[in-house]
Amino acid sequence: MRAAFSVCEEEFESSSARERQFKALEKELADALKLRLQALRDGPRRPALLGLQRDIEDALCGESFVQVATPIILAKKQLEKMSIGDGHHLSSQVFWLEGDKCLRPMLAPNLYSVSMDLLRIWEKPIRIFEIGSCFRKESQGNRHLNEFTMCNLVEWGLPEETRTERLRQLAHVVMAAAGIDEYEIEETNSEVYGPSLDIVQGDTELASGNIGPHFLDANWGIRSTWAGLGFGLERLLMTREKTNNIHSVGKSLSYLDGARLKIN
Ligand code: ATP
Ligand code: MG
């Protein structure tokens, strides 16, 4: 397809010859998009984003993780427990709603809350995960969406000395489900969690992970070891599909499964 763009560098005998070439190119590109949409209709019938979500769900359930589903609307107090109060600069990235509520910018506060209860009810180890939309006001770019799909998992009750190794194993489970085998794990510093481990490919952050006990745990009255990771599904897809347009793989009115819909 990229070869088609070489026409842009060509010289033409006349403006009508140029016009004809461009029309032909336009049709070629539109036909390719239509074929792609037809392949979706004939084949998986599910956009890659939802296919990836399902693959990760299956992989994590296969590792004895229990899936949870929590509300998208979050109380401000829950975010304050994550140390994101009015003064915190991440607070300006939050979509605030009336009545001290917001659209969740992360899944962690809800997972903390569910974990707090399950830790009373179930024996450890306890493994849970959620996959769902998160919302952040971001300066628009190729790697950020205002609404993106996060997968957040946490395992409670690990032997202390195994936490980092377990984090690596769990990263591998999700990366394998996503079909990405080239990635690195590097130490970094998160504004919310402090020292963290990022899963990256090149300079693209795919996930951030942490181990605990962590100072935030006390806000939910939790005392336990843990390992947890948060992945961005659209970043995983961009990486796997080698596209640099995150908007084409995310939830969209303009794209369906990576193909632009605004074609004739
Ligand atoms: P970045 O530094 O790239 O903005 P982050 O460190 O703020 O990301 P985290 O809070 O660690 O992001 O969220 C976990 C994962 O969610 C990230 O590693 C990334 O894959 C994904 N993610 C975060 N923000 C966005 C966004 N606005 N759009 C798409 N994916 C995102
Ligand atoms: Mg991060």
CA 147 to each of CA 9, 113, 250: distance values in angstroms, whole numbers, following the listed order? 37, 22, 8
pLDDT by residue for the chain (264 residues), tens only, comes to 555 566 667 788 899 999 999 999 999 999 999 999 999 999 999 999 999 999 999 999 999 999 999 999 999 999 999 999 999 989 999 999 999 999 999 999 999 999 999 999 999 999 999 999 999 998 878 999 999 999 999 999 999 999 999 999 999 999 999 999 999 999 999 888 888 999 999 999 999 999 999 999 999 999 999 999 999 999 999 999 999 999 999 999 999 999 999 987
d(CA 8, CA 103): 44
* Helix residue ranges, H only, the chain: 15-42, 48-62, 76-80, 108-121, 163-177, 233-241, 246-249
Residue in 208, 251, 252 to alter for ligand 1 test, most ligand atoms within 8 A of Cβ: 208
Dist. CA 197 → ligand 2 center (Å): 8
Indicate the pTM of the whole model: 0.94
Q: Decide whether any atom of ligand 1 lies within 6 Å of the 247 Cβ.
A: no
What pLDDT is recorded for position 194? 85
What pLDDT is recorded for position 30? 95
Nearest ligand (C-alpha, residue 205): 1
Selection from 146, 235, 162, 231 nearest residue 197 by Cα: 231
Nearest ligand (C-alpha, residue 229): 1
Alpha-carbon 250 to chain mean position: 9
**pLDDT tens figures, 137-165:** 988 789 999 999 999 999 999 999 999 99
Dist. CA 165 → ligand 1 center (Å): 23
**pLDDT tens figures, 23-47:** 999 999 999 999 999 999 999 999 9
Q: Decide whether any atom of ligand 1 lies within 6 Å of the 147 Cβ.
A: no
What pLDDT is recorded for position 224? 98
Dist. CA 185 → ligand 1 center (Å): 15
